[in-house]
Structure 1
Amino acid sequence: MLDEVRACLLLAVAALAGCGTAPPSPESAKPSPPPRVSATSSVPVRTAAPASSAADASSGWEITVYYTAVERFHTGAPTTVTGCPRLDCAHGTADLGTFPADFVQAVQDEGTGRTTAGQYLNWSYDVGFWLDSAPRDTDGDRLTPFVSAAADPNVLPDGTRFRISACGSQDDGSSPPAAICAALRDAAWQITDEFTPGLGGSRHLDAYIGPETGPGFTDSDWYLTLTGAAITIG
């Protein structure tokens, strides 16, 4: 009986002294990290935002607008035009109709014109004249006002996006009308067209603004060339 009492006393003292229990290590005392959340979890994961690269700004550009001529605003002498009656054709000889001479010249200058019949008389140096259902760029895609632009492909390749960040001045040194400059700057342009060989240059862009709005359009404020303009690419 005495031996049993002595054994109990020894066990009690050991318990008070922490006998048989190792002290917690510094590592095991730290709280456990939260469970890792996968990309498919319903709990959002905060990730660092990718660093954004600065857009490529460039100055010293010449920017000329181009447009779709509208037959009803022209009154020149009747002129017969031959070419292709459809898009997928080149250097055709079909009779496409009779149109005012100044309208035909505008089509050659601008690349596209809308006839009174509702068709488009288009022209390209490598195709000639053809009739179409829409104004077209050099790839055969529809021109979009205040989006489509032309450049030398060796300078700005097809698909390049840019904005006009500064309008510069007009040919005579004057500032362009504020409203027109604002409209050109607000547009998001994309290179979808290209110049006739030899008419481009290292700092030359054409910006498509849609159909002409009345007779004598080339004397209006909208028909302008900007010099010393700046663009932001990207």
Structure 2
Amino acid sequence: MRACLILAVAALAGCGTAPPPVPPATSAASPVPSAPPAPPATTAVPGRTASTPVSPGTRVSTGWEITVYYTAVERFHTGEPTEVVGCPELECAHGNTRLGAFPADFVQAVKDEGTGRTTAGQYLNWSYDVGFWLDSAPRDTDGDRLTPFVSAAADPNVLPPGTRFGISACGRQDDGSAPPAAICAALRAAAWEITDEFTPGLGGSHHIDAYIGPETGPGFTDSPWYLTLTGAQLTID
């Protein structure tokens, strides 16, 4: 939830096809992880293409910026151990219990993305109004479980919680290039729902964060999956 948390990446927190799409191959010196899990077939939204008319009651909205967010995975991080304090469970805020020592880059990724999976199998979550807490699942700022290729965040004054939408056109990446076809296809096939909101003052009126699940290897932020789209088109139910 890069925009629903206080972030380091773009200051914005998180993200159906058959087999998951595979990012382009890279050199052995700079490995890129495999793709995060693609949306299951049950979440496919047939008809959400630029050439197919939308159903009555569905509106088309253009000019959106979309960023992805993900669950950091501790075993893919190797920074210096950093002590973290917070809540041992969700039902508290800004606790001072020692939660453990974790790699510094993992802790930063948790603050950037909002959630991380520890080697012990727990989830270290973070939000601006709670701080760090340990949990059994990745959560958004309201404590609801994040679902890959479903959960998304937006300005609640623009798209309130519960709004369902599809991505009917991916637009362009930051550098003006088209996003990888397989990644765009996975984002378009998903049935998204606004379940989270941006940190107050961040995000903007035409910005969405889309949750794509756990990172799948070291260097995930250098992979094609970690992207920002501009000029995207949504179909909003």
Q: TM-score category by the smaller chain?
A: 0.7 to 0.9
- Alignment correspondent of 1:72: 75
**CA distance, structure 2, for counterparts of residue 75 and residue 142 of structure 1:** 27
Runs of 4+ deviating beyond 4 Å: none
Q: Which of the numbers 125, 130, 142 marks the counterpart of 1:139?
A: 142
Tell me the equivalent position of 1:81: 84
CA root-mean-square deviation: 0.8
The 5 Å alignment of 1:1-234 reads 53-234=56-237
Q: Aligned with 2:62: secondary structure?
A: strand
Q: Which runs of 5+ in 2 are unaligned?
A: 1-54
Give the Cα–Cα distance (whole angstroms) in 2 for the partners of residues 57 and 101 of structure 1.
42
Q: Distance in 2 between matches of 1:119 and 1:230?
A: 36
Question: Which amino acid is 1:230 matched to?
Answer: Q
Task: Say how many residue pairs are matched.
Answer: 183
Structure in which a larger fraction of residues adopt helix:
1
> In 1, distance between residues paired with 2:81 and 2:192?
36
Partner of 1:130: helix, strand, or coil? Answer: strand
The structure whose Rg is larger is 1
By how many angstroms is 1:53 displaced?
2.2
1:19 counterpart residue number: none
Greater RCO (CA < 8 Å, at least 6 residues apart): 2
Distance 2:137 2:59 in 1: 33
Cα drift, residue 137 of structure 1: 1.4
Identity, % of aligned positions: 85
Report Cα offsets for 1:9-35 as digits up to 9, x if no partner: xxxxxxxxxxxxxxxxxxxxxxxxxxx
What residue identity is the alignment partner of 2:212?
Answer: I
Could you state the TM-score of these two structures normalised by the residue count of structure 2?
Answer: 0.76
- Range moving further from structure 2, 111-120 or 53-62: 53-62
